[in-house]
Structure 1
């Protein structure tokens, strides 16, 4: 796998862990209002997205379309938080409550599975040659599916920072 992409996955995950590690379980599960997710739910959503992305990449390697798709500027789409993207049902988080350490463990497990799977791909160039439809971004090459994992996480790290401010402001 591309070293830069691997570094981005690691750096983004470390940033996420920095944001949540010192939270109490109460802060972690607090919702600024009834229509917002808690930080715990955001993190659970990130786990679900990573797991679903792994399945999509695995499926794409086996049965994905064999046509090169035009690369999309997914960073512009994913990092623009002025445009709300509704989570598909399959990646909607449970209502909780969750413990911080429980979610950290699940995040580690999920990332380990992803990296282990990606390390088994003998010829990573195949990732640019096959594509699978993403529910929010349309047809994406498999390498862009990997990129969207850390970009999506970066998007939600910003959301977590906002929730932390709101939770502290209302407590």
Structure 2
């Protein structure tokens, strides 16, 4: 992958870990409202999205025809938190509680799998020439599937900050 994408992946992940590292078990697993996710669930969702992205890129690479589509305004869509995006079932988080360190290990493992997978792609330019259907963004070039990981993470970092404020106001 290009250097900027790697830097953006690293930066978003570092900010995420910094946001959650000092949380207590209760803060991490407390739901702001009955139908809302806890910070732990938001993080579990991010792990599931990263894993699903690897699968989507793999499927897209296996397509024989080149299916390049127009590039989407991924950043604009994902960072606009006024528009709710329903998570597909496959990336809905578990209801069970998590330990902060457990989630950090899972985040590190999923990122390691992603980077290892991306490093197996000999010619990264193929990612711009093939596409896969994204549940929230429509047909998306594979390189933008990688880009959406850190943008999606940035979206949820803002959500985590809001949940932390809500929790602080309760106590």
User: Do they fold alike, i.e. is TM over 0.5?
Assistant: yes
* Cα distance in structure 2, aligned partners of 1:67 and 1:52: 20
Equivalence for 2:116: 116
Classify the secondary structure of the residue corresponding to 1:6: helix
Moved >2 Å (runs of 4+): none
* Cα distance in structure 1, aligned partners of 2:64 and 2:14: 31
Equivalence for 1:6: 6
Equivalence for 2:160: 160
With structure 2 as the length reference, what TM-score do the two structures score? 0.98
Deviations along 1:85-126, one digit per CA (max 9) or x if unpaired, are 000011000012100000000000000000000011100000
- Which ranges of structure 2 fall in alignment gaps of 5 or more residues? none
Equivalence for 1:93: 93
**Structure 2 residue 65 is the aligned partner of structure 1 residue 59:** no
Classify the secondary structure of the residue corresponding to 1:34: coil
Equivalence for 2:32: 32
Question: How far does residue 64 in structure 1 lie from its aligned partner after superposition?
Answer: 6.5
* Cα distance in structure 1, aligned partners of 2:80 and 2:65: 28
Q: How does 1:131-146 map to 2 (within 5 A)?
A: 131-146=131-146
Classify the secondary structure of the residue corresponding to 1:35: coil
Number of equivalences: 171
Change (3 A) 1:65 1:87: farther
* Cα distance in structure 2, aligned partners of 1:39 and 1:98: 10
Deviations along 1:49-87, one digit per CA (max 9) or x if unpaired, are 000001001111112751221111110000000000000
Classify the secondary structure of the residue corresponding to 1:157: helix
* Cα distance in structure 2, aligned partners of 1:105 and 1:117: 18
* Cα distance in structure 2, aligned partners of 1:64 and 1:134: 19
* Cα distance in structure 1, aligned partners of 2:32 and 2:73: 32
**8 Å Cα contact 1:64-1:132 kept in structure 2:** no
**Structure 2 residue 84 is the aligned partner of structure 1 residue 84:** yes
